[in-house]
């Protein structure tokens, strides 16, 4: 039987729910305080990294933002959009694509 279930059973036998509620609420508030402290610590760390112009990637590599000049461009595969050859039935405008 789990610890919490034993505590609830003993609390119900002795008609002492208030004591169990106090213990549970104290535990909850302690855990919430720890989580808030951890969240605040993470926020402070992110602020420090944002102000220092240094990026650390997930694999451990560290880059200085000022040393990054030009990001690489993605070269698409396939037909270039600007060099499309039109068919003999196409004109400059797209409205009249089907001529009779």
The mean pLDDT of 65-84, rounded to a whole number, is: 71
Query: Which pTM does this prediction carry?
Result: 0.44
Sign (positive or negative) of CA dihedral 36, 37, 38, 40: positive
Average pLDDT taken over every residue of the chain: 78
Give per-residue pLDDT as tens, 6-38.
Answer: 888 888 888 888 888 888 899 999 999 999 999
End-to-end CA distance of the chain: 85
Judge whether 22 lies within some domain: yes
d(CA 40, CA 48): 12
pLDDT for the residue numbered 1: 62
d(CA 21, CA 33): 18
Judge whether 91 lies within some domain: no
The mean pLDDT of 75-79, rounded to a whole number, is: 74
Judge whether 25 lies within some domain: yes
For 37, the domain range is 3-69
């Amino acid at each position: 039987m789990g610890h919490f279930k034993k505590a609830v059973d003993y609390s119900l036998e002795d008609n002492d729910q208030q004591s169990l509620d106090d213990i549970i609420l104290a535990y909850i508030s302690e855990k919430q305080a720890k989580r808030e402290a951890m969240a605040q610590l993470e926020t402070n760390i992110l602020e420090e990294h944002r102000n220092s112009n240094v990026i650390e990637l997930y694999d451990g590599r560290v880059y200085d933002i000022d040393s990054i000049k030009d990001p690489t461009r993605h070269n698409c595969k396939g037909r270039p959009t600007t060099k499309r050859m039109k068919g003999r039935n196409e004109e400059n405008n797209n409205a009249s694509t089907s001529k009779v």
